[in-house]
Amino acid sequence: MYFCINYSMNKKYKKIIDKGLREISMKNSPNSLYEPIKYFFNMGGKRIRPILTLLSCKSFGGNFSDALNAALSVETFHNFTLIHDDIMDSSSFRRGLQTVHKKWGVNNAILSGDVMLILAYQLLEEYDSNIFLRLNKTLNKTAIEVCEGQQMDIDFETSSDVNLEDYLKMIKLKTAVLLGCALKMGAIVANANEENSKNIYDFGINLGLAFQLQDDYLDVFGEQDKFGKKIGGDITENKKTILFHYSILNGNENQKKQILDLYSNDSKKIDQKISKVKSIFKQTKAEVITKKVIKDYTKQALNSLKLLTISDNDKKEFESFALRLMKREL
């Protein structure tokens, strides 16, 4: 019964957020600047971050509608980063549709993304000065960290001395901090105290890390129908995820040489390469260790909930959301 209520509430929040995104992208002159924004928002998405902003505000005693602008700000910022990510990655498709830079050109995509970034900050102007300053400070810190994470990711593509600690720091900055930011911004709107704001932020950080590491795992060992992406994409692109790092840490000299050789060339026999790498990940226990690390971060996230001074029902709502997210049920 609780699960159904939770799911229904999340669907309600998503509809409100989608409506808000349509409204902020209504401006249409020049069309070539705003049409890509409308197009990108209409691609859809789970709206995980803004939903968490609304949930956070409600849980700390605020009215979720008061946090709508903060939620829209987080989602607009997130979508801005995706448009620019697609340019940097030379991606042709996102969610089965042409990327903005492929449809309108790189220059248009950059400008449309820039406007989205500005809109993200403009949305916070509706709050009173004290709340605005705290929200602005939180988003500024997160924006810089996301850029740092993206740059680390770019640097790692040509670096040969990236270790596990570096990788975990990169995904924390590139992915997890925005989840933490979304939750903290909801807490700020509800005037939650510093301790609660910190603990809900930590919940987001650990959940974000668990989610990204599980993404790494499912890219190799998941089922394509459930995962929603072609299996082995990271291996094909020679991305050194957590599985790669644990195989290097735990493998014997022969296994290390094999994995490094496989990752140092762009083999045309993709299926064979994926099969070999997958086998080494199993032999070196990288698969098993990664699953344990994912569970550990999920547990740390749930432990952060225990420290919050909110109702048990609200804690359960966050827990339900987290577990469904990890099961890819959202």
Q: Please determine, for residue 2, whether its predicted confidence score (pLDDT) is greater than 60.
A: no
What pLDDT is attached to residue 3? 38
Cα separation, 321 vs 183, whole angstroms: 13
- At residue 4, the pLDDT reads 41
Q: Are 126 and 270 members of one domain?
A: no
Query: Is the same domain home to 203 and 185?
Result: no
- pLDDT score at 1: 34
The pLDDT of residue 24:
87
Say how far apart CA 195 and CA 133 lie, in whole Å: 18
Q: What pLDDT is attached to residue 227?
A: 62
Pick the last residue of a domain from 192, 223, 251.
192
What are the Cα distances from residue 215, in Å, to 103, 194, 229?
28, 31, 10
**How high is the pLDDT of residue 259?**
93
Domain final residue pick, 192, 214, 244: 192
Are both 136 and 201 inside the same structural domain? no
- Using DSSP bridges, classify how beta strands 97-98 and 93-94 pair: parallel, antiparallel or unpaired: antiparallel
Tokens of 273: 């390469």
Q: Which pLDDT band, with edges at 50, 70 and 90, does 329 fall under?
A: low
- Cα separation, 108 vs 287, whole angstroms: 42
Cα 145 to Cα 153: distance, rounded to the nearest angstrom? 12
Say yes or no: 187 and 199 in one domain.
Answer: no
Cβ-based neighbour number of residue 239 at 10 Å = 16
Please report the pLDDT score of residue 95 as a whole number. 84
Q: Is the pLDDT of residue 34 over 50?
A: yes
Q: Is 126 found in the same domain as 49?
A: yes
Is the domain of 164 the same as that of 313?
A: no
**CATH of residue 303:** 1.10.600.10
Q: Which amino acid is present at 85?
A: D
Task: Annotate 149-162 with DSSP letters as a single string.
Answer: HHHHHHHHTT-S--
Residues 137 and 260 grouped into a single domain:
no
In this predicted structure, the answer to whether residue 41 has a pLDDT above a threshold of 90 is yes
Confidence (pLDDT) at 5: 42
Domain shared by 17 and 151, yes or no: yes
Q: Tell me, what's the pLDDT at 251?
A: 94
Asked whether the beta carbons of 216 and 164 are under 8 A apart, the reply is no
HSE-CB of 175 using CA atoms within 13 angstroms: 19
Q: What is the pLDDT of residues 300-319, one digit of tens each?
A: 999 999 999 999 999 999 99
In the structure, what pLDDT confidence band is assigned to residue 153 with cuts at 50, 70 and 90?
very high
The per-residue pLDDT for 178 is 98
Q: Within its chain, how far is the Cα of 316 from the centroid?
A: 22
Cα 274 to chain centroid, rounded? 25
Range of lowest pLDDT (75-79, 131-135, 322-326):
322-326
Q: Give the residue from 271, 243, 249, 248 showing the smallest Cα distance to 261.
A: 248
How many structural domains is the chain composed of? 2
Quick one: 329 and 241 in the same domain? yes
Give me the residues paired with residue 224 across strands.
none
The per-residue pLDDT for 226 is 64
In this structure, the answer to whether residues 199 and 147 fall within a common structural domain is no
Which of 132, 167, 192 is the C-terminal boundary of a domain?
192
Region 258-283 average pLDDT: 90
Q: What value does the CA radius of gyration of the chain take, rounded to a whole number of Å? A: 20
The number of C-alpha atoms within 13 Å of 96 and in the hemisphere containing its C-beta is 6
Question: What is the overall mean pLDDT for the chain?
Answer: 92
Whole-prediction pTM:
0.92
pLDDT tens, position by position, 74-129:
999 999 999 999 999 888 888 889 999 999 899 999 999 999 999 999 999 999 99
Mean pLDDT of 321-327: 90
φ, ψ for residue 148, nearest 5 deg: -60, -40
- Tell whether 247 and 184 lie within a shared domain: no
Average pLDDT over residues 137-155: 96
Q: Is the pLDDT of residue 166 over 60?
A: yes
- Tell me how far apart the alpha carbons of residues 218 and 328 are, in angstroms, rounded to a whole number: 11
> Can you give the pLDDT at residue 6?
59
- Segments forming the whole domain that contains residue 297: 193-330
Q: Are 166 and 257 members of one domain?
A: no
- Concatenating the DSSP letter of every residue in 262-330 gives HHTS--S-HHHHHHHHHHHHHHTTHHHHHHHHHHHHHHHHHHHHHT--S-HHHHHHHHHHHHHHHTT--
Over residues 196-236, the pLDDT tens digits come to 999 999 999 999 999 999 999 999 998 776 666 678 888 98
SS3 for 193-252 is: CHHHHHHHHHHHHHHHHHHHHHHHHHHHHCCHHHHCCCCCHHHHCCCCCHHHHHHHHHCC
